[in-house]
Structure 1
């Protein structure tokens, strides 16, 4: 709070009384006295930004940026965060790390945002990680589950949101060792940190059996127009279990090609590529039967959630704020949940809206229940654990929806190893 005074002669007693009155006013309004702002925050607004691939090979994830914006508009319509409106600035990076760097510099240096929120993709986020940490700008709740986001010592300004890819893959390994210990595994993965984290988790989960169970590994680049040749090679190698550690478009291609070959392996895809609208429908629902994955969130297409209070809020949000997201509700729910987590952290900031306090609050989320998470799954962080979600459940695709099975599993959340 700024106090201005004018230079004017006054009796000593009057000066004393004025000072006393000012002190009493400060004491009566501690919240006003303690307002603290950093870049991107003021009495009226909180400015946050991100980059997502609205175009390019991963454009299916562009709906996430629209989902964030729609949720923040909903919050603004309800009065904002402690009376402040969220100004959300989202740029297209086309899933190209150099473009992510360019757009992020614009957000930080020109737009002066308070934080970068919900950026999509491991490679894109890795490209800006050192930069935003040097700038001490929070890089929060990223739409990627790479292990490298859980490294509070080296990167204290970066925090992921999705469960660790490493932990998810380790869970698949445990499932496989129990259900199909003699599997001949083919690993198909994206040649970047996204794919490599999954491969590492799978091998560590299989332990000393990895060398005998994994028959073949093949990687693809996101610049490849089709991955059909990789799937053909895996079939020729005698594989009976395939892991498609791929992003949406490429996971869909792998599911479709497996079916075209008349091949019936156990096919496991990551949670990030389990969306009904952006992956399974493009692949063909008939082709996707019995595909296995894991989840930590409710499935908006599953009728079992139609009377769930949290999902009723989500359906109302889609109807009013992002009706074009109905065909991709699973991905939209991820965007809704990431934005909801960001709002929770901002609320905890109160009137101390600095980069430092936002990061402090983001690292002190305790048992936060989000509308879209499975019962029993909550958001938890600490100054030494930057992995907000580490619980999930196995599921298999049957008919037109995913069916969950087994218990809620608490996954491993290793910090990044350098």
Structure 2
């Protein structure tokens, strides 16, 4: 890759000319020092610019495929960076096995701090300087929306976003942008429908992030509740930049609602659950599906405070006793011990990152030797009953030119003080 004077000390996990297996020491050192300009490179071969010049398609040469992403290695959603670290490790593992179609995968992963303006500049760099074939697994609704128009104008696939906004499932207006997981609107609707089934009356309170992420979940909740219960909602918003949301929780708790829904990322969600517990308020609590990690959510919130909370699930949770002897989970555990030894095996963010990477791997394998951006998009639109890697039974990936909601499956889970268990209604 061409040098950038504004980028400090780039580090390479698998650098040119080295053995196919990557250096774990280099990887661990790189993860320990993410900064604004830092990026992670999975590479075996020429620089990004040279590879692109020699390729028939942007980001593709005889020896490699260049993909890019931005990720929240810093900022309020840094807990989710485990997903991207897991993706990095998986592509390095694939490279050690020969890559895809005889080509190594070079993954460029820049820090965006969950800042849309910063993400936009990094994505523009990926497209215009690094000339990536595809942009992959961007996290955050606002981040994905900030770059969506630009990537579609450049006809660069924006695939399998680590965000669940329903606005990312709009093939008519943004055919190059596709998510992977159930949409936030469908998740909010799922909670509303469960409340209607199980709580025939009672006041409903919502704390939500004041952006497209929180508003999408809230809109789905209203749909699920229907007009008969919608008037019972008392909602309180907060900005993602706020250091704490305890005051909003105190305001919501004043009338002691029977139900609380927390539509927030782990940092703020943990604050909310901890404050509710400290106040002695005991509502039925639903949290955003992304708040399943013992490491980044449950432990900061407190085990006792978290016991009994509900969330939607679509991945197998490593703490769930159902998967103790599951062949797929055991295969992942063995892989993780060898290739990501610092990863907490109880944290589903580590396993879910593998899912995003494996779905992209499937798309690239379907491409064969035609790795043009157009064919990558076409193959992403051609997934049929592909089992969601490490997904719950029934969670499959289906896409078409008009279906940009690959996974629709949702299961309700409850934290029992040790693990997430399925809830049978």
TM range (shorter): 0.7 to 0.9
Structure 1 position 222 matched with structure 2 position 219: no
Tell me if structure 2 keeps the 8 A contact 1:393–1:406: no
For 1:185, the equivalent position in structure 2 comes to 204
SS in 2 for 1:271: coil
Tell me if structure 1 keeps the 8 A contact 2:204–2:258: yes
SS in 1 for 2:364: helix
For 1:23, the equivalent position in structure 2 comes to none
Structure 1 position 394 matched with structure 2 position 405: no
Looking at CA atoms only, which structure, 1 or 2, has the larger radius of gyration? Answer: 1
The CA deviation string for residues 78-136 of structure 1, in whole angstroms up to 9 with x for no partner, is: 11111111000000000111100011011111111111100110001111000111111
Tell me if structure 2 keeps the 8 A contact 1:119–1:142: yes
CA-CA distance at 1:327 after TM superposition: 5.7
CA-CA distance at 1:248 after TM superposition: 1.2
SS in 2 for 1:406: coil
Alignment of 1:192-231 (within 5 A): 192-214=211-233, 216-231=234-249
Structure 1 position 367 matched with structure 2 position 394: no
Partner Cα distance (1:246, 1:328) in 2: 21
Tell me if structure 1 keeps the 8 A contact 2:314–2:395: yes
Aligned residues: 371
Question: RMSD of the alignment, in Å?
Answer: 1.2
Tell me if structure 2 keeps the 8 A contact 1:278–1:328: no
Task: Calculate the TM-score normalised by the size of structure 2.
Answer: 0.85
Task: Calculate the TM-score normalised by the size of structure 1.
Answer: 0.87
Of Structure 1 and Structure 2, the greater helix share is in 1
Counterpart pick for 2:250 among 209, 223, 232: 232
Partner Cα distance (1:271, 1:210) in 2: 23
For 2:103, the equivalent position in structure 1 comes to 84
CA-CA distance at 1:317 after TM superposition: 2.2
Partner Cα distance (2:339, 2:125) in 1: 27
- Gap change, CA 1:371 and 1:150, over 3 Å in 2: closer
Counterpart pick for 2:66 among 47, 62, 65: 47
Structure 1 position 102 matched with structure 2 position 121: yes
CA-CA distance at 1:349 after TM superposition: 0.4
SS in 2 for 1:272: coil
SS in 2 for 1:171: helix
Alignment of 1:316-355 (within 5 A): 316-326=334-344, 329-355=347-373
The CA deviation string for residues 200-251 of structure 1, in whole angstroms up to 9 with x for no partner, is: 000011111233321x111111110000011101100331100001111111
Partner Cα distance (1:292, 1:175) in 2: 11
SS in 1 for 2:99: coil
Structure 1 position 119 matched with structure 2 position 124: no
CA-CA distance at 1:50 after TM superposition: 0.3
Partner Cα distance (1:196, 1:328) in 2: 30
Partner Cα distance (1:176, 1:268) in 2: 10
SS in 2 for 1:325: coil
Structure 1 position 161 matched with structure 2 position 196: no
Partner Cα distance (1:328, 1:49) in 2: 28
Q: Which has the higher contact order (CA 8 A, sep 6+)?
A: 1
Partner Cα distance (1:183, 1:82) in 2: 57
Tell me if structure 2 keeps the 8 A contact 1:52–1:64: no
SS in 2 for 1:273: coil
Structure 1 gap ranges (5+): 1-35, 408-418
